Amino acid sequence: MDLAADIISGLRLDLGGALDFASRADTAELCRAADAVRGHFFGNKIETCSIVNARSGRCPENCKWCAQSAHSKTSAEVYPLMSSGALLAAAKASDEAKIERFSIVTSGRTLTDADVEAVACAFKKMRAQTGLKLCGSLGLLTKPQLQKLFEAGMTRYHCNLETAPSFFPKLCSTHTIQDKIRTINWAREVGLQICSGGIIGMGETFEQRVELAIALREVGSMSIPVNILNPIKGTPLENSKRLSNDEILRAFAMFRLINPAAHIRFAGGRILVGDLQKSLLKSGVSAAIVGDMLTTVGAKVSDDFAMFGELGYDFERTSQI
């Protein structure tokens, strides 16, 4: 069975089929298949994005992985929503670095209507003064709020499922995965692209990673950030052990094979894996968050671009939204 060819021809793996193939394939075979699928759908193009932590800390949600949760005692910064001028300055820095997309990210369950107005103002300025494609990661917004931001220039909305539906209740009890899916559906209904992914290494099984990959396909995610847990001191997951390189490679490959036409995006935790990033770029990855993450320092943009160039990838901006 040439799984890559079958996927390129239209096969979409269900849970049983994905687990069956994974049980029979070694890691190298999985990665080769994932790389072939990536190459077919994306060539050697890497889509880059950057984020700004626009409001930090004191989040009322009890997500066990998050440094910004008020239920954890961490050293994460705490500050209110940044001004539109400060957000514009961050966007301009990304624009000057030739990064393709830029996302405003806020802590907390949601935004007030006044906050949405402020973010919409920032998006309008960014649309007028930069060449960036604009994204938001702003919590469980309402459909009218999402509509307002879409009209202001936001083209893609980010709301991670975070983990498999079967595992999510063990990691968070203040909201449900169904709450997230409702927001994602509203975002799609107003015309936004969907960016939704998750975190691996939080105690889930391999089967649950595959379950998450299928759930992301079902919600129509066309950009899938895959984070590797960076255990933060003061969170309930602070003593979690990093996944092995083999587990990470297999997870990324399965996200690609299950979501062949979606961007599989390097996200948080990249600094934990060093040169493994180069192997992941040959195991299904077609996009990356560059620069700093939310509460952790990332790689330098110039270093990322050098790595992409070394491996023969094109990271020039495109005109597509």
Distances (CA, A) of 298 to 60, 263, 269, 289: 26, 20, 8, 9
Contact 154, 147 (CB under 8 A): no
**pLDDT tens, 15-66?**
999 999 999 999 999 999 999 999 999 999 999 999 999 999 889 999 999 9
Fold of 12-310: TIM Barrel (3.20.20)
* One-letter amino acid of 66: C
pLDDT at residue 269, rounded to an integer: 87
Report how far residue 310's alpha carbon sits from residue 219's, in angstroms, rounded to the nearest whole number.
Answer: 35
Give residue-wise pLDDT tens across range 125-138. 999 999 999 999 99
> In the prediction, which pLDDT does 300 show?
81
For the chain, domain boundaries: 12-310
Residue type, 70: A
Backbone angles phi, psi at 320, to 5 degrees: -75, 145
Q: What is the pLDDT of residue 315?
A: 85
Neighbours of 132 (CB within 10 A): 21
pLDDT value, residue 162: 97
Question: Is residue 100 within 8 Å of residue 47, measured between CB atoms?
Answer: yes
- Residue found under tokens 């089967």: 207
In the prediction, which pLDDT does 294 show?
55
Percent of the chain surpassing pLDDT 90: 86
Q: pLDDT at position 246, please?
A: 97
**253-297 per-position pLDDT tens digit:** 999 999 999 999 999 888 888 889 999 999 999 999 997 655 445
At 169, the amino acid letter reads: P
C-alpha distances in Å from residue 206, one per residue of 155, 187, 215, 245:
32, 29, 14, 14
Tracing tokens 């990210």 back to the chain, one arrives at: 105
Q: Give DSSP secondary structure letters for 245-300.
A: HHHHHHHHHHHHHHSTTSEEEE-TTGGGTTTHHHHHTTTT--EEE-S--SSS----
Side chain identity at 97, as an amino acid letter? A
The single residue listed with the structure tokens 């060093």 is 274
Structure-token pair, residue 310: 């070394």
Neighbours of 43 (CB within 10 A): 11
Q: What is the pLDDT at residue 293?
A: 54
Per-chain mean pLDDT for the chain: 93
Indicate if the pLDDT at residue 198 is higher than 70.
Answer: yes
Give the Cα separation of 266 and 66 in Å (integer).
18
Exposed/middle/buried for 321, CB within 10 Å: 0-12, 13-18, 19+? Answer: exposed
Residue 320 has pLDDT above 90, yes or no: no
User: Could you give the C-alpha distances from 227 to 1, 8, 146, 242, 268, in angstroms and in order?
Assistant: 30, 26, 25, 12, 5
Q: At 36, which amino acid appears?
A: A
**62 vs 70, residue with greater confidence:** 62
Residues 141-192: tens digit of each pLDDT: 999 999 999 999 999 999 999 999 999 999 999 999 999 999 999 999 999 9
Buried b (16+ CB within 10 A) or exposed e, 55-66: bbbebebbbbbb
Q: Whose CA is closest to 168, among 179, 156, 158?
A: 179
Inter-residue contact 66 to 59 (CB < 8 Å): yes
pLDDT at 292: 60
